[in-house]
Amino acid sequence: MLFGPIEYTVERIDGDYAYLRQEDQPQQELKCVARALLPPEIAEGTALHYEMMEYTIK
Q: Tell me, what amino acid is at 31? A: K
Q: Give pLDDT tens digits for 4-53.
A: 799 999 999 999 999 999 999 999 999 999 999 999 999 999 999 999 99
b (16+ CB within 10 A) / e for 22-51: beeeeeeeeeebeeeebeeebeeebebebe
Q: What pLDDT score was predicted for residue 3?
A: 78
Per residue in 25-39, pLDDT (tens digit) is 999 999 999 999 999
Whole-model pTM over 0.75? yes
**Radius of gyration in angstroms for the set of CA atoms belonging to the chain, rounded to a whole number:** 10
Is the pLDDT score of 1 beyond 70? no
- Cα angle value 26/56/52 (rounded, 5°): 85
